Amino acid sequence: MSAGPVTVPAIRARKGGTPIVSLTAYDYPTAQAIDDLVDFILVGDSLGMVVHGLPTTQGVTLEMMAMHGKAVMRGAKRALVVVDMPFGSYEESPEAAIRNAMWLMRETGCSAVKLEGGTEMERTIRFMTERGVPVLAHVGLMPQKVAMMGGFRTQGRNTELADKVMRDAEAVSAAGAFATVIEGTVEPLAREITEKIAIPTIGIGASPACDGQILVINDLLGLASDYMPKFVKRYAETSATIREAVSAYGEDVRARRFPGPEHCFGVKKG
């Protein structure tokens, strides 16, 4: 990894090279902890579900994204920071999309935004990138569109759906996105897309052949979730650690072992 800040051109240039490492983050301490370990941090609208307890990402607002984006930017000094554009903030028109994207970038100081959609968003992505707004695209399974997709279903399982995902990936690449997330897509198709399009692919539930990988950090850490998608590898069981610590704290309080003299002010030693 380079010592200097990671840039949009640097991510774009990683096509076919050393895999890109990325994670979500939603707050200052998490961003600070992972900043030098990843290439880019995504302030994902997944925060609606994993932080705020919403049933889907559709209730997330621009103001929520800005609040979390600013917190992450305070902790990230090296990693590229990308902020998700939430549902309803970019679909209306290219003009509305760039207005909201520019507001989000000004409010947070982030380097790029992410939006979901393929062929239907090609004109919008081109409009934004031609005017200096870097866009990370997102194809395959699109959480903001789960109602239309019939739920969180793996994409590309038949020829018709596979052709659509391929067309979407080709469209966002041609439109000027600097990279694209491929989510919840059958492995052979994600591999084929990676080989075919000119921009880096970032897989989540896709293929090891992708140019990089991303996970929701709460899933990676095993934090506050009983459900683990097939594509997640848990590297820690943080919920269990938290419960153990809080249980020990509760026992100490009830037994009056905490606070001790060393935790109090004005107590004479010896």
Is residue 135, in this structure, part of any structural domain at all?
yes
pLDDT reading at 30 higher than 80: yes
In the prediction, which pLDDT does 138 show? 98
pLDDT reading at 144 higher than 60: yes
pLDDT reading at 255 higher than 80: yes
Amino acid at 33: A
pLDDT category, 155, cuts 50, 70, 90?
confident
pLDDT reading at 83 higher than 90: yes
Global confidence as pTM:
0.94
Residues annotated as catalytic (active site), given as ranges: 183
Lowest mean pLDDT among 11-25, 97-111, 152-166, 243-257: 152-166
In the prediction, which pLDDT does 252 show? 97
Lowest mean pLDDT among 21-35, 81-95, 135-149, 210-224: 135-149
As beta bridge partners, residue 22 has 40, 214
Domain holding 15, by residue range, is 8-259
pLDDT reading at 152 higher than 70: no
pLDDT more than 70, % of the chain:
94
The closest alpha carbon to 169, from 232, 214, 211, belongs to: 211
Annotated binding-site positions for Mg(2+):
45, 84, 116
pLDDT category, 12, cuts 50, 70, 90?
very high
Is residue 252, in this structure, part of any structural domain at all?
yes
53 within 8 A of 36, measured Cβ to Cβ: no
The closest alpha carbon to 186, from 209, 218, 170, 214, belongs to: 209
Is residue 250, in this structure, part of any structural domain at all?
yes
Token pair for residue 201? 């692919």
Q: What is the 3-state secondary structure (H, E, C) of 218-269?
A: HHHHCCCCCCCCCCCCCCCCHHHHHHHHHHHHHHHHHCCCCCCHHHCCCCCC
pLDDT mean over 220-232: 80
Annotated binding-site positions for 3-methyl-2-oxobutanoate:
45-46, 84, 114
What lies within 8 Å, CB to CB, of 169 at 6+ separation is: 118, 139, 180, 182, 193, 196, 197, 201
In the prediction, which pLDDT does 148 show? 61
DSSP string over the chain? --SSPP-HHHHHTTTTSSPEEEEE--SHHHHHHHTTT-SEEEE-TTHHHHTT--SSSTT--HHHHHHHHHHHHHH-SSSEEEEEPPTTSSSS-HHHHHHHHHHHHHHH--SEEE--BSGGGHHHHHHHHHTT--EEEEEES-GGGHHHHTSS--B-SSHHHHHHHHHHHHHHHHHT-SEEEEESB-HHHHHHHHHHSSS-EEEESS-TTSSEEEE-HHHHHT-S-S---TT---S--HHHHHHHHHHHHHHHHHTT-SS-GGGSSSPPP-
pLDDT mean over 120-136: 98
Q: How many independent structural domains does the chain possess?
A: 1
Is residue 181, in this structure, part of any structural domain at all?
yes
In the prediction, which pLDDT does 218 show? 94
Is residue 102, in this structure, part of any structural domain at all?
yes
In the prediction, which pLDDT does 268 show? 84
Amino acid at 157: R
Mean residue pLDDT across the chain = 94
In the prediction, which pLDDT does 269 show? 78
pLDDT reading at 41 higher than 90: yes
159 within 8 A of 109, measured Cβ to Cβ: no
Is residue 58, in this structure, part of any structural domain at all?
yes
In the prediction, which pLDDT does 151 show? 60
- What CATH number is given to the structural domain containing 251? 3.20.20.60
What is the end-to-end Cα distance of the chain in Å, rounded? 52
Is residue 3, in this structure, part of any structural domain at all?
no
Is residue 89, in this structure, part of any structural domain at all?
yes
pLDDT reading at 270 higher than 70: no
The better pLDDT of the pair 147, 264 is held by 264
